[in-house]
Amino acid sequence: MAKTQVTAGSPPETADRAAPANAFYVAINRGDLDAAIDLMAPEAVHRTAISDYRAPGVRVLFSTLREVLPDLEIQVVDQRSNGNRIISTVVFTGTHEGSYLGKPATGRPVAWRSTDIIEIDPYGRIGERDWDVFGDPSLWKQLGFIPAIMC
């Protein structure tokens, strides 16, 4: 289950403002993609360095992550708010039990850190999400795509 408490030093209103973002993490941790998608505005966009995703793409992305890492969990380690923008540092963890891009499962645990910026629309839904899920080279190293000497 995601740890959704706000870190020390964050304004108390961050917890209220971040409720949709934290509910998204909890839904992903439960493997409930329907609940996660329901938290998104109809026009919501999730942006990554590789591509931008609307709701159907978010479903495919997290379904794929769940196939590769069936015990995928997102833990919030820091969270701040700035107006309708929620900035979270999250750590993804899971066990590499499925093949990915031709690399067989290793059975090893993996972990990587990401910055997640979520904008909440006026109706309390996720309107935009910008994250660097593929930006941490340690994930690619752990999955065997990058030699250790390169990280």
51-90 residue pLDDT tens: 888 999 999 989 999 999 999 999 999 999 999 999 999 9
Question: What are the CA-CA distances from residue 28 to residues 34, 92, 104, 111, 113 (Å)?
Answer: 9, 11, 24, 16, 16
CA 101 remoteness from chain centre: 20
Contact 95, 69 (CB under 8 A): yes
CATH class of 13-146: alpha beta
Query: At 92, is the secondary structure helix, strand, or coil?
Result: strand
Tokens 């993490």 identify what position?
Answer: 25
Smallest CA-to-CA distance from 19 within 84, 106, 92 is with 84
How many C-alpha atoms does 94 have within 13 Å on its Cβ side? Answer: 26
Task: Using pLDDT thresholds of 50, 70 and 90, give the confidence band for residue 97.
Answer: very high
* Domain ranges (residues) in the chain: 13-146
Over residues 33-49, the mean pLDDT reads 92
Query: At 119, which amino acid appears?
Result: E
> How many whole angstroms separate alpha carbon 66 and alpha carbon 68?
5
Percent of the chain exceeding pLDDT 90 equals 59
Please write the tens of the pLDDT for every residue from 127-145. 998 876 556 667 767 776 6
User: Quick one: the chain helix, strand, coil %, rounded to 5?
Assistant: 30, 35, 35
On average, the pLDDT of the chain sits at 84
Query: At 80, is the secondary structure helix, strand, or coil?
Result: strand
